[in-house]
A and B are shown apart, each in its own frame.
Chain A
Amino acid sequence: MEIEVKNLSMSFEINGSHLPVLENISFSVAEGEFLTIIGPSGCGKSTILNILAGFITPEIGAIYLDGQRVKNLQQVTAYMVQKDLLLPWRTVLSNTILAPELRGEDIKRAREEASNLLENFGLTGFLNSYPSELSGGMRQRVALARTLMFKRPLLLLDEPFGALDAMTRFVLQNLLIKVWQKYKKTVIFVTHDIDEALLLSDRIIVLSARPARIKSIYTLKSERPRDLASLVKLKKEIFDELKEEMERVFSNGKI
């Protein structure tokens, strides 16, 4: 599965004024690649994911899936965001099997598979608990299990660990890498955390401040699990780029 995004442009009408959000965004994602999009907050990172998932339609631009032009990537996409979006009235197990249930698949088999997955994610003993009984990290692990049960090759992850404390986030980042390697998923990951991008990605796209353009692209070759200490130079480079963008916004008095 190969994805190509060409010349995406998008603007919103807010209170009658025209607000350009994306400007000529083009990139491609190879099968099995872990691509991270990083940018200053409010730059339009999530808008890109929302376009790919089919929640909004871009004004200009085209999306190609294996060379075929498609409207969006909804059919191949599983999606996870910062909020866990677990249904409070369903147990952990029942939340996890949502996608197969909605598709009308065999519930018993889905339950078995989800149980195994949840146990591998360290949730043994919590299968019949309600989300309100879990910690934030556990809830996000359930959300990741639910995302995998979509059984779709592309994972669109929009700051999935953004609301977690540093330690829990680190654990979940490692879990995500293992999952990505084991299930051979293609990942497009949005974050504003440089460390997270460095630990996880094959490639990092740095976006400018709004309207977002692609400012630069970094390729990372080192084996995972990675040691941040060895990536200090790269971190400084990306940090300076983002800082420059933030300063540009501040000097324009937009914030």
Chain B
Amino acid sequence: MGKYKKSGILILIILLIWEIGVRVSHVPYYVLPAPSKILITVVTQSPLLLKHSFYTLTEMVLGFLLAFTTGSLLAFFMFKYPSVEQAFYPIIIGSQSIPVFAIAPLLVLWFGYGLNSKIVMTALIVFFPITVNTLEGLKSADPDVVKLFKLMGASDYQILKKVRIPAALPFILTGSKIGISVSTIGAVIGEWVGSKYGLGYLMLHANAQLKVDLIFAAIFYLTLMGVGLFSIVSLSEKLLMPWKRR
């Protein structure tokens, strides 16, 4: 944990300046609450926040898993069949210029007010980094190693299993790290557009009631979940790639 010491100190300094700033300038609490007030809300409102966090977390995890499955499968087919890549790749790139906000209402219309529309929303955002990185990774295998394997009489399946997938692993995990970090965006936007649960819903609700401290508390929980999921991917990276650890 030593490597996070400096970030921790920086955060403490920022919070301290924030606290002093709010107290000295007398900014009303419904505009910018002091960190101490937010902390109190984080603790006292924890049953409410946890309930909604769990809902959002479910969206993030399921959305991520959906994106991971479809993304890595599509990447594999794009790698295997160049015509699939030629057909899909420009569309995938182009689709990134569509703002997710623009399609969120449609998703609610199509997939309903419940969990499904948020899962799809999250998956749409996570899908891109995973697909692009996995494809890049599958292509990254050294052609000379593939030549050597062919000389040893290896089958295409053996080359995939023993060369291409291990070579793609660092790329897949990088894509997953980016994907899991942005999964909060999909979940929260989905909840903003139409939901009765989740931290995004809670933030909208709190905003309407000028409970700014609750908005910050929700952001705090959201950040905690994002960092937590990122750490899990990081940890699995270390477990899956022992050769990078030493």
Residues of B within 8 A of A78 (CB): 151
B145 touches A85 (CB 8 A): yes
State the Cβ distance, B87 to closest chain A Cβ, in Å: 28
Query: B145 near A103 (CB under 8 angstroms)?
Result: no
A150 contacts B241, C-beta separation under 8 Å = no
Fill in one digit per residue for A97-109: 1 if any B CB lies within 8 Å of its CB, else 0. 0110011000000
Which residues on A sit within 8 Å (CB–CB) of B246?
Answer: 130, 132-133
The residue that B153 contacts in the complex, of A55, A79, A87, A102, with Cβ under 8 A, is A102
In the bound assembly, the distance between CA atoms of A92 and B95 in angstroms comes to: 44
Cβ 8 A contact of B151, one of A53, A87, A130, A132: A53
State the interface size on chain B (CB cutoff 8 A).
18
How far apart are A225's CB and chain B's nearest CB, in angstroms?
30
- CB-contact partner of B241 in A55, A74, A89, A133, under 8 A: A89
Alpha-carbon separation in the docked complex, A99 to B150 (Å):
10
Per the bound structure, the CA–CA distance linking A99 and B154 in Å amounts to 9
How does the 8 Å CB contact mask read for B37-64 relative to A, with 1 for contact and 0 for none?
Answer: 0000000000000000000000000000
- Asked if A79 and B148 sit within 8 Å, CB to CB, the answer is yes
**A99 and B152 contacting across the interface, CB-CB below 8 Å:** yes
Q: A184 vs B171: C-alpha distance in the bound complex, in angstroms?
A: 43
A81 within 8 A of B: yes
Residue contact B152 to A98, C-beta cutoff 8 Å: yes
- Pick the contact of A130 from B149, B153, B154, B243 — CB < 8 Å? B243
Bound complex: CA A78 to CA B148 (Å) = 9
Q: In the complex, A81→B151 CA distance in Å?
A: 13
Q: Give chain B residues whose Cβ lies under 8 Å from the Cβ of A79.
A: 148, 151
Kindly report which residue of chain B lies nearest to residue A78, judged by CB atoms. B151
Q: How far is the CB of B171 from chain A (nearest CB, A)?
A: 13
**Cβ contact of A87, chosen from B147, B158, B163, cutoff 8 A:** B163
Contact residues of A between 122 and 181, Cβ < 8 Å to B = 130, 132-133, 150
Contacts of A89 in B (CB 8 A): 166, 169, 241, 243
Contact indicator A88/B243 (Cβ below 8 Å): yes
Judge whether A83 is part of the interface by a CB distance below 8 angstroms: yes
User: Residue A85 contacts which of B148, B153, B169 (CB distance < 8 angstroms)?
Assistant: B148
Q: A107 CA to B151 CA in the complex, in Å?
A: 19
Alpha-carbon gap, A81 to B243, bound state (A):
23
Contact between A87 and B154, CB atoms less than 8 A apart? no
In the assembled complex, A186 has its CB within 8 A of some CB on chain B: no
Given the interface contacts A87-B163, A89-B166, does A102 sit within 8 Å of B145 by beta carbon? no
B169 and chain A: residue at smallest CB distance: A89
Q: A102-B158, A130-B243, A132-B243 are known contacts. Are A87 and B145 too (CB-CB below 8 A)?
A: yes
Query: Would you list which residues of chain B between 157 and 210 have a CB under 8 Å from chain A?
Result: 158, 162-163, 166, 169
B144–A102 CB distance below 8 A? no
CB distance from A139 to the nearest CB of B (A): 14
Residues of B bordering A, CB below 8 Å: 142, 144-145, 147-149, 151-154, 158, 162-163, 166, 169, 241, 243, 246
Interface of A toward B, CB cutoff 8 Å: 53-55, 74, 77-79, 81, 83, 85, 87-90, 98-99, 102-103, 130, 132-133, 150
The 8 tightest CB contacts between A and B, nearest first, are: A130-B243, A89-B166, A102-B154, A99-B152, A89-B243, A102-B152, A85-B145, A79-B151
- Could you list 18 further interchain pairs (A-B, Cβ under 8 angstroms) beyond the known A78-B151, A89-B166? A55-B147, A83-B142, A83-B144, A85-B142, A85-B148, A87-B162, A87-B166, A88-B243, A89-B169, A89-B241, A89-B243, A90-B243, A102-B158, A103-B152, A132-B243, A132-B246, A133-B246, A150-B152
Contact sample, A vs B, 9 pairs, CB 8 Å cutoff: A78-B151, A83-B144, A87-B162, A90-B243, A102-B149, A102-B152, A103-B152, A130-B243, A150-B152
